[in-house]
Amino acid sequence: MKRKLWIILGMFGLIATSTWVFGDDGEGHTTWLTRLWREARLDVAPANDVLYRAECGSCHFAYQPGLLPVRSWEEIMKRLDDHFGESAELDVRSSAEITRYLTANAADRVDYKRSKRFAAAAATAEPTLRITATRYFLHKHDEIPQWVLEQGERPLKLFQCDICHTEADKGSYDEHQVHIPGLGRWED
Amino acid sequence: MLVPVATLADTTDQALADYRAQGAGTFDGDAGRRLWNTEQSTADRTTRSCVSCHGADPTRPGRHVRTDETIKPMAPSINPKRLTERREIEKWFLRNCKWTFGRECSAQEKGDILSYLRRQ
């Protein structure tokens, strides 16, 4: 009986310390352990390049370089004047700098969990320019029925990663963090 | 240390002077407003204009018609960073004129639009 009590007390202790170590203090400050913990769970490296974020992230979600292989990024950057039907032209210097950033951190050059999966899937198929058309992406999203995408006020588009993946901008695509607007949590 | 900050007046005045040097005449904010609202037909039978993404009211945020990404207001009165960087102005004119009108804008058109936007 006494032993049981100690176990329960011990569990409370564990929970209490884990929220202290891994939790926010409510004002957005996080402990170094929290950061370490989050870092370890990242699926891809966050897209923190200032120029890339400014030039590409002002029109769409700043897709992490680790979501496509080198060949895809090179192709995308070669044809910015027809960027999926729009002009996204950049001056030569910015374009070269962004190309360097994207290719140096591409799926087949870095070591993050999902980058490796994207790279592996791309290695066996013709590389596509669309992340949403890569085999790995399709495989991970194939269980989402059409009605889910159309149930809200505005139809959801699969290229808007951060609409459902609440931590996408930080490089985390954990399934437990998925929150579909209008539907809530989603797990398959 | 004091860092010189480009202002709306510095940058747009300089841009307008350059457009004039490229052969444009007097700039007209009302012509700029009309151009801003001009609808252009596209091959897929939709129409597009500056308003498609920026919205009808430059003091309000816009929404990118394709990606749904929010676009900060164009009005310098609301968004003081607008029209303060020459490089940005030219970049967006190049990209957006091509997408909206299917061609680059002339110096006159750019000056008219700038004259319209700066007073917002």
Nearest to A127 by CA among A158, A106, A96: A106
Is residue A42 scored above 90 in pLDDT?
Answer: no
- Contact yes or no for A88 and B96 at CB 8 A: no
Which of the residues B44, B65, B69, B71 would you substitute to probe the A interface, choosing the one with the greatest number of A C-beta atoms within 10 Å? B69
Per-residue pLDDT tens digits for A93-120: 999 999 999 999 999 998 888 888 888 8
More confident position, A186 or A14: A186
Cα–Cα dist B18/B107, whole Å: 8
Cα–Cα dist A88/A83, whole Å: 6
Chain B residues contacting A via beta carbons under 8 Å: 64, 66-69, 71, 87, 91, 94-96, 98-99
Retrieve residue A19's tokens.
């929220």
- Contact yes or no for B87 and A91 at CB 8 A: yes
- Contact yes or no for B69 and A89 at CB 8 A: no
- E strands along A48-91, which residues? none
Question: Are A124 and A69 contacting, i.e. CB atoms less than 8 angstroms apart?
Answer: no
- Contact yes or no for B95 and A159 at CB 8 A: no
Contacts of A61 in chain B (CB under 8 A): 67, 69
Cα torsion B104, B66, A44, A120 to 10°: value is -90
Confidence bin at A27 (pLDDT 50/70/90): very low
Q: Residue A176: what pLDDT?
A: 87
Nearest to B64 by CA among A150, A133, A160: A160
Per-residue pLDDT tens digits for A87-98: 999 999 999 999
Q: Residue A28: what pLDDT?
A: 53
Confidence bin at A127 (pLDDT 50/70/90): confident
